[in-house]
Structure 1
Amino acid sequence: MWVLSVAHQQKLLLVWTRRFQSPVSISRVGAQVSSYHVTPTVLSPEDSSKNPVTKRRRRVQHMPVESDGRQEQSKSWKKDIPLLHKQTQRRADDSRVSSELRKLCLEDFPAERDRTVRQKSTPDSKAENLEIVFGVAPCLLALTQGRRKACKLFVKDGEASHRASVIMVCEEAHRRGVQIHRVSKKDLDKMSSGGVHQGLCLQASRLSYLTENSDSAPKRKDNSVPLWLVLEGIQDPMNLGAILRSAYFLGVDRVASSLRHSCPLSPVVSKASSGIMEVFGVYGYENLEDMLRLKLAQGWQVVGTVGAEAGESQLPVTQCSDYRMTRPTLLLMGGEGDGLSQRLLALCHTLLTIPAGRKLFPGIESLNVSVATGILLHSLLLSRRATR
C-alpha cells in the first residue's frame, strides 16, 4: 500500500487539476480567438509561466478580427466621405459665389440699392402727359414709329432680359438715347396695373385720337374704292384693340371713332392690338353724324350692321356674303350694348348681317363686336377685289 506524503499529494492534485482544466481553457480561448484578435505582447514570459490559464484569458483583447476590421475601416471611410464632399463643395460654392458677387454689388447694401432704385428706376410721376406702355410689340413700335416721346424703358431683371425680343427693344431704346433700367417683376406689375407686360414697360407720352380739317377721300395707289371703319361707342379697350388689329391686317383705309362714350387710346388698347395702335392712327369725331352727312354728299355709301335675329327694319338687310362694294364705303359698327344709335341708322343705305350656322338660344344671338367686325371687313374687302 502506497503511503504518500503531503507534498506528493499536493503535486498529484495539481497534475490532475491541470489535466481537467486545460481542455476547458483551450476550448474557451479558441472560441474567443474565433471572434477576437490575440495580442501576445500583452504578457511577459514570467506571467505566463505562473498561471497559463489565467494569463491566456488576459491575452484576449476585445478587438475585431481582420474581416471585422475591414468593415470598421469601411464605416469610418464612409463617415469621412461627407466631410470631404462638403469641403470640395464648399470650394466649388466659393468659386461660384465669388463670380456672382461681382454682379450683385448692391445686394449687400439694401439701403444703397433702395436709394438707387428710387432715384433712377421708377417712372417720373410728376411728368405730365406721360403713361406706361407695356408689352414687347407696343414698346418696340412706340420706339420705332416716333409718334410718342419715349423717356424710360424698364426691363425685368433676370433671364427674361436675355430673350431676343427684349434685347431688340433694348437696342432700339439705346439707339434713340432712352434710359434703360432693370427692375423687379413686382415693379413692372405695378407699372402696368397687372397687365401682361412680358418683362417690358416704356414710359412715354400719350397718344390721342387724330383730327383733321379736311375729310376728303384718300387716293389709293391701286385705284380701288376706299373703305372706312366707323365705330360708335366702343367702350371695352380689349375690343377696340382687337378691332384695330383686324382693320390694319385686312387693309382698311381709315378707322374713325366717336369721342363721346368711347374708351381712350390707352396702353391696354395698344397691348390688345399687339402694338397696331402705335402704327395705325385712329381719327376721333365729336359728331359722327356730321361727318357721315359730309361723306354722303361726296358720294360715299353708308352701310350699317345688325344682329342675325334683328327685328323688322325699314332698311334692307343683306347677308354680308351677298353684298358687293362698288363705291367708297363707310362700315358702321355699334357699341357692345345697344349697337348703332337711331341717328346713325337713319343715314344708312343698307344693313349687313352675319348669318348664324345653327338655331341660336335666346340671349346669344350676336357675336362679340370685335369678331363681327373682322368677319364683315373680310367679306367687304373680298367683294371689292372681286369687283375690281
Structure 2
Amino acid sequence: MSLTKIYGIHAVQAALDYSAKKIQRGWIDAQRQDRRLQHLINELADLGIAVEKNERRKLDRLADGKNHQGIVVEIEMPSVRSEDQLKQAVVDLNDMPLFLVLDQVQDPHNLGACLRTADAVGIHGIIVTKDNAAGITPTVCKVASGAAETVPVYQVTNLARTLRWLKEQGIWVVGTSGAATQSLYEADLNMPLAIVMGTEGGGMRQLTEKQCDFLLKIPMAGQVESLNVSVAAGVMLYETFRQRKAGEAKL
C-alpha cells in the first residue's frame, strides 16, 4: 500500500467525498478554529479516523511548506490500472466509449488537470504510457482534487499496439496536431473515440500519429503557436461532450 499526504480544505473534502475509506489518519492545526475546518474534523471523526492536534509548524513540515489551511491527511494513493484491465473495461462498456490518450506527457500538473476535466465530461479513462510519462503521484492527486479516484488511469507498455487494439474494437483514434488541415469544430465527434494528445513540447510521436484515423487542430487566433496540453485536452473533450449532448437532444 502506497501512502501520500494531501492538504488543504478543498483537497481533503474531495478525499472525503470520493475516497473516505482510503484516509488513514489526519493532523490539524490546534490554534486554528473556523467553520470549514471544523466540518472536516467532524466528518473525519464520524468515520473513526484518528486526528491529531498539533502546532502549525508540524503541519508545515508534513505539507512540505505548502499552504495546508490547517489540515493534512494521509491517504492510500489510487492505483494505476493495467493494459489487461483496460481491455476488460472496453469489452464491458455499455455506452459510447470515450478515452483520453496521453503520449508521454510528463508534467504531473498536466495529468492532474486532465483528470479533473475527464471527470467533468464523464470519460471512461485516461491511457498513459509506462515510460517517460507521469503516473499517479501526490502532486497529481492534489491537482486532480478527487478526480484521481473517479477516473481510471491505464498504463500501457506499447501505445501504438494499444491504439491498434482500440481500433479493432470499433473505437476511432483521433490525434491532435497543429499541422492538421481539419479543425476540431468541423469534425463529427459523436462516435466511439480515443483522443490522443502529445507531449508538452514535441506533440505526438511519429509511431503514435501513424495509428490515428484522422488528425484535428484547435483553431488559434493569436500569436501563441500551441496550448498547454491540459488546456488543449479540455477544449477537445468539451467539444466532444457538446456534440454528444446535442446528439442526445435530437433523439
TM-score, L = length of structure 2: 0.88
The 1:281–1:167 alpha-carbon spacing in structure 2 relative to 1, beyond 3 Å, is: farther
User: Could you tell me which amino acid in structure 1 is paired with residue 46 of structure 2?
Assistant: R
Q: Deviations over 1:140-199 (max 9, x none)?
A: 33344347632210112223x4232x2232122212221101223322222122333222
- Corresponding position of 2:98: 227
* More relative contact order, 1 or 2 (CA 8 Å, 6+ apart): 2
The 1:303–1:141 alpha-carbon spacing in structure 2 relative to 1, beyond 3 Å, is: same
The 1:170–1:286 alpha-carbon spacing in structure 2 relative to 1, beyond 3 Å, is: farther
- Corresponding position of 1:156: 29
- Corresponding position of 2:234: 374
Contact 1:147 1:278 in 2 (8 A): no
* SS of alignment partner, residue 88 of structure 2: coil
- Please provide the CA RMSD for this pair: 2.1
Q: Deviations over 1:238-265 (max 9, x none)?
A: 1111111111112222222122211231
User: Could you tell me which amino acid in structure 2 is paired with residue 377 of structure 1?
Assistant: L
The 1:280–1:336 alpha-carbon spacing in structure 2 relative to 1, beyond 3 Å, is: same
Distance 1:151 1:215 in 2: 29
1:304 has 2:175 as partner: yes
Q: Deviations over 1:264-303 (max 9, x none)?
A: 3122212212222233232222222222111111111000
Give runs of aligned pairs for residues 84-103 of structure 1, distance below 5 A: none
- Corresponding position of 1:205: 76
Shift of 1:333: 0.8
Name the larger-Rg structure.
1
Structure 1 unaligned regions, length at least 5: 1-127, 311-315
Higher strand share: 2
- Corresponding position of 1:317: 181
- Corresponding position of 2:14: 141
Contact 1:299 1:328 in 2 (8 A): yes
TM-score, L = length of structure 1: 0.59
Structure 2 unaligned regions, length at least 5: none
- Corresponding position of 1:192: 63
Contact 1:141 1:278 in 2 (8 A): no
Q: Point out 4+ residue stretches in structure 1 off by more than 3 angstroms.
A: 143-149, 217-220
Distance 2:40 2:205 in 1: 43
**% same residue:** 31
Q: 2:90 aligns with which of 205, 209, 216?
A: 216
1:175 has 2:46 as partner: yes
Aligned length: 245
Contact 1:324 1:387 in 2 (8 A): no
Distance 1:191 1:281 in 2: 28
